[in-house]
């Protein structure tokens, strides 16, 4: 009797030990797997960062999108900061800040179809007016655009600036950056452009258009207004969401 009990007890102990061993094995396998995953993750992050840092590095004045922007805008008349036929019946006014990332998104995604269709067909023209809200660097950026507009390259300058925009008030808006954008935008006479962008007249224009935006009740950028045969003067539109809404607004105004 006691013999049997002893045997049972031993058997139980053995089973327990075995299951303990199995658990320990499982635990070791799992921890090895985890350690492997950890090192793999480290390698993956390092590789991705190395790849990311080696692509598109380069100097400060290396600009992106130069040929695309100049190609998109070629053949469309420009004078000052107006793009499109000066006699176009509808005038769409954009109050923007060159430092504003949302304006950048509009310049890249929302406005191009409108320019390609209604502006290129002479149904509308778009006017860019500086509304400097982001910070002190918005003013020199704005006057540089005004001076580029005087040489018929205003929209090339604006679009290229947006394509290469840095962080808000990040200090990238310096003479070197602005000159690189102006040259790439096709501003021929850089000396005159320099003179004009530093003139009190250009600063005054930027201040005036900012004041106009405030008078229209705008608080952010980009904000739009429209004028056409069917509107009573310059009517505020606010910030529309997509290209289709702009196209509809232009139709309504004409």
Partner 1 sequence: MKFPSEAALRKAIAFVATLGVGVATYIAIVESGGGSPVCLAGGSGCRTVAESSYSHIAGINVAIFGIVGYLGILATAFLVSDAARFAGFALALGGFGFSIYLTYIEIFKIEAICQWCVGSAVLMTILFLLNATRLIAYAGTTTGAQAPLREA
Min dist CB 211 to partner 1, Å, is: 14
Min dist CB 96 to partner 1, Å, is: 9
Under a CB-based contact definition with an 8 Å cutoff, are residues 160 and 63 in contact? yes
DSSP state of 42: H
The residues, any chain, with a CB within 8 Å of residue 175's CB and separated by 6 or more, are none
Residues that bind partner 1 (CB under 8 A): 23-28, 30-31, 33-34, 37-38, 41-42, 44-45, 48-49, 52-53, 97, 99-105, 133-135, 166-168, 170, 172, 219-223, 239, 241
Question: Rounded CA gap, 120 and 45, in Å?
Answer: 46
Min dist CB 90 to partner 1, Å, is: 23
Question: Rounded CA gap, 78 and 106, in Å?
Answer: 19
Beta carbon nearer to partner 1, 8 or 28: 28
Min dist CB 153 to partner 1, Å, is: 24
Beta carbon nearer to partner 1, 80 or 207: 207
Distance from chain centroid for Cα 103: 7
Beta carbon nearer to partner 1, 49 or 190: 49
Min dist CB 230 to partner 1, Å, is: 26
Beta carbon nearer to partner 1, 8 or 168: 168
Give the C-alpha distances (Å, rounded to integers) separating 151 from 86, 165, 237. Answer: 16, 22, 29
Beta carbon nearer to partner 1, 53 or 232: 53
Give the C-alpha distances (Å, rounded to integers) separating 76 from 33, 156, 160, 172. Answer: 62, 11, 16, 30
């Amino acid at each position: 009797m006691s013999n049997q009990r002893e045997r049972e007890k031993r058997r139980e102990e053995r089973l327990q030990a075995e299951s303990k061993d199995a658990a320990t094995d499982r635990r070791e396998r799992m921890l090895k797997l985890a350690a492997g995953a950890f090192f793999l993750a480290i390698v993956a992050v390092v590789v991705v960062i190395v790849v990311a840092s080696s692509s598109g590095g380069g100097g400060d004045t290396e600009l992106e999108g130069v040929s695309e922007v100049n190609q998109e805008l070629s053949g469309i008349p420009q004078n000052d900061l107006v793009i499109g036929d000066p006699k176009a019946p509808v005038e769409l006014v954009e109050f923007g800040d060159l430092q504003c990332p949302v304006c950048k998104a509009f310049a890249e995604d929302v406005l191009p179809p409108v320019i390609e269709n209604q502006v290129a067909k002479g149904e509308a023209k778009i006017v860019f007016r500086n509304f400097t809200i982001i910070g002190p660097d918005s003013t020199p950026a704005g006057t540089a655009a005004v001076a580029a507009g005087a040489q018929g390259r205003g929209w090339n300058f604006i679009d290229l600036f947006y394509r290469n925009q840095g962080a808000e008030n990040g200090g990238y808006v310096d003479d070197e950056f602005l000159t690189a954008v102006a040259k790439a935008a096709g501003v021929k006479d850089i000396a005159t452009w320099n003179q004009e962008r530093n003139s009190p007249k250009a600063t005054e224009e930027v201040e005036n258009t900012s004041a106009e935006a405030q008078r229209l009740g705008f608080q952010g950028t980009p904000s739009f207004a429209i004028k056409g045969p069917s509107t009573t003067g310059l009517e505020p539109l606010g910030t529309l969401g997509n290209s289709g809404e702009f196209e509809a607004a232009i139709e309504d105004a004409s």
